[in-house]
Amino acid sequence: MTGWVEKLDAAARSSGSLVCIGLDPDPRRMAVSDVAEFNRAIIDATSDLVCAYKPQLAFYEALGLDGLRALEKTISHIKNIAPDAVLIGDCKRGDIGSTASAYAKAMFDVWDFDTVTLHPYLGVESVEPFTERADRGAIIVCRTSNPGAAELQDLKLVGDGVEGTLYEHTARLASKWNTGGNVGIVVGATYPAELATLRGQHPDMPILIPGVGAQGGDVEAATRAGVNSDGRGVMISSSRGIIFASEEAGTYAGSARSAAETLRDEINEALEGQN
C-alpha cells in the first residue's frame, strides 16, 4: 500500500515542485463569494505547480455547514484534477485515544485526507489512531511559524534523553512514533535555524513548512535548511500569499498561478544554488 510519504515524493518529482498551497478561504478577501467556486479556480490554475494542497479546516468551520459543504466540493475537485497531489487536512487535532479515533474517522473516512496535522501535547495515544493507518498518517506540530511560537516550544528541558528544547523533544517523539514511516513534522519557515537543527536531527522525516508568503519566511533559507539529502522531503506552504495574490474577480486565479510559479522557481533556484 502506498502511503502519503511515497505519494509526496512522487508528486514532488513529477511536478518538479515543492510548493504546497494552503486553501484558507476568507470571505472578506475572496473575489467571488462562493468558497467552492473560489477554490476550484485556484486549483484549476495551479494543479501542475504543486506537490500538495492543504485546506485549513478553521476557515471552513467558520462558515458553518455551508463552509463544510464547500470543503467537500473542494476535496472532490482536488481528487479529480490533481489526484497526485498530497491532500493535507490542516486541523491540528489532539485528544485522548477514544476521541482521537473519532477524529481519525472524520479526517480519513469522512473527508478523505491523505494526512493531517496534529498537536503533540497528549502524547502517543493522540497520534496512534492516525499513524496506525498505513495508507494515511500524521504531521506533528513541532516548531510553528507564529511570532509567539517560542513561548512554549523553546522551553528548555532537563532529564535523561530529553536534552534541548521542547520543540526538539517533540520532533524526537514524532520520530519515535514513526514506526510505520508515515509521520512528518511541522516547522515554520520563519525559523530557518530551528529548521536546520531539526533536519539535521531527522534526516528522513518529511517537513511541512508554513510561513513563507504572508508570514514573511525567507524562501531560500527555508528551502536550504529544510530539504533532505535528495533535495526533497519538504512541503513549502503558502496560503494567503498565493490565493489572495489578487483580490479581483477577473485576475485572482491567474495571479495565484503566477505566485505559485514564482514560489516554485524560488525554491528550485535555492536548490540549484546549493549544488
Residues that bind its own copies (CB under 8 A): 24, 26, 56, 58-59, 61-65, 68-69, 72, 92-100, 102-103, 105-106, 109-110, 119-126, 141, 144-153, 155-159, 162, 166, 169-170, 173, 215, 240
Burial of 275 (0-12, 13-18, 19+ CB in 10 A): exposed
Q: Report the C-alpha gap between 164 and 161 in whole angstroms.
A: 9
**Residue 141 or 256 with smaller CB distance to its own copies:** 141
Any residues with CB less than 8 A from the CB of 76 and at least 6 apart, and which?
Answer: none
**Residue 93 or 224 with smaller CB distance to its own copies:** 93
Least separation, in Å, of the C-beta of 125 and its own copies?
A: 5
> Catalytic: 92?
yes
Catalytic residue of the set 7, 54, 92, 156: 92
Q: Which amino acid is present at 253?
A: A
**Residue 141 or 267 with smaller CB distance to its own copies:** 141
**Residue 4 or 59 with smaller CB distance to its own copies:** 59
C-alpha cell at 45: 490554475
DSSP 66-126: HHHHHHHHHHHHHHHH-TTSEEEEEEEE---HHHHHHHHIIIIIIS--SEEEE--TT-GGG
Any residues with CB less than 8 A from the CB of 156 and at least 6 apart, and which?
Answer: 164, 165
Give catalytic residues, as residue numbers: 92
